[in-house]
Amino acid sequence: MTGSTAPAAAPQGAPAPLPRPAAPPPTTPPADAVLPPRAPGAPAPGTPIEPHYDLCFGCGPQRPDGLQLTAVAGEGLTVDARFTVRAVHQGGPGLAHGGLLTTAMDETLGTLNWLLHAPAVTGRLETDFVRPVPVDSELHIHAWVTGVHGRKVYSAAEGRIGGPDGPVAIRAQALFIQVKLEHFTTHGRPEDIKKALDDPDLFKRARAFEVNP
Ligand SMILES: CCCCCCCCCCCCCCCC(=O)SCCNC(=O)CCNC(=O)[C@H](O)C(C)(C)COP(=O)(O)OP(=O)(O)OC[C@H]1O[C@@H](n2cnc3c(N)ncnc32)[C@H](O)[C@@H]1OP(=O)(O)O
């Protein structure tokens, strides 16, 4: 017993302590954030939002092992999505892998940007896992924009098991950053970019990059 209350010095070579999180968290919109109206031409409430890219792991119909998540535009800046947890999505025996649940939240939150008609990518995504999700469950995800500040789009989502009123299994908050088309054309693998741009379906071509045609 030394009698000292000072924190012990980190041993030499130890990793630096993690920085204390700044308050408020970076996924909380600042006070002067706004809630813009839906973009003209955004899908009407109740309308399905088609997959943005056939090979997307989250929503692509050509990804048999993907989530094949489906989404419907809600009122205002909201989206409702569903996906069924299958055996290929397991983490623990018979239970959904947490990373895949996070992917489902990311995908749904990303779809909100279609209502704003501006391409955006995930900058930060925070998830809280509230209860385990068994294989064969249908996860119902409700997502909403919480504010827009310059290029930053703040949003939140809740995933429930079995139905829109089922028990909450997962919650998420995100910060998306709006980007130009060049973000994708500069960084993506050229053959995939070309394939997406060559798609004769104008809607799919626009959705691949989340931009206006
Ligand atoms: C071929 C087909 C392809 C198809 C493709 C289609 C894609 C359509 C997607 C739709 C479907 C959904 C799917 C799921 C969505 C993904 O999963 S997207 C993939 C995952 N995300 C990424 O790959 C993003 C990687 N990161 C980046 O590229 C860059 O860091 C970013 C996010 C573009 C930001 O870089 P930047 O444009 O240089 O902007 P920067 O000035 O650094 O930051 C702008 C502001 O945001 C803040 N910020 C940036 N990052 C963060 C952060 N992590 N935390 C807090 N604040 C941050 C900055 O502090 C700054 O704040 P202010 O100073 O303005 O107050």
How far is residue 116's CA from residue 147's CA, in Å, rounded to a whole number? 12
pTM of this prediction?
Answer: 0.88
Which domains does the chain carry? 48-166+179-208 (3.10.129.10)
DSSP secondary structure string for all residues of 20-62: PPPSS-TTSPPTT-B-PPPPTTPPPTT-EE--S-TT-TTT-TT
Q: Which of the pair, 74 or 9, is modelled with greater confidence?
A: 74
123 alpha carbon – ligand 1 mean position (Å): 4
Residue nearest atom 7 of ligand 1, based on CA coordinates? 209
174 alpha carbon – ligand 1 mean position (Å): 11
The mean per-residue pLDDT over the stretch 36-50 comes to 93
Taking all residues of the chain, what is their mean pLDDT, rounded to a whole number? 89
ipTM of the complex: 0.91
Counting from 1 in the atom list of ligand 1, the atom nearest the Cα of 210 is 8
151 alpha carbon – ligand 1 mean position (Å): 10
For a pocket test of ligand 1, which of 149, 177, 184 has the largest count of ligand atoms closer than 8 A to its C-beta? 177
Ligand 1: residues whose CB is within 6 Å? 26, 52-53, 58, 106-107, 110, 121-124, 150-152, 175, 177, 179, 184, 188, 192-193, 196, 208-210
Predicted confidence (pLDDT) per residue in 106-140, tens digit: 999 999 999 999 989 999 999 999 999 999 999 99
Which residues are 143's β-sheet partners? 79, 157
Segment among 37-41, 89-93, 136-140 with least mean pLDDT = 37-41
Largest CA distance in the chain: 75
Q: Which of the pair, 1 or 26, is modelled with greater confidence?
A: 26
Q: Of 58, 75, 42, 44, give the one whose Cα is nearest residue 144.
A: 75
Tokens found for residue 60: 């692509």
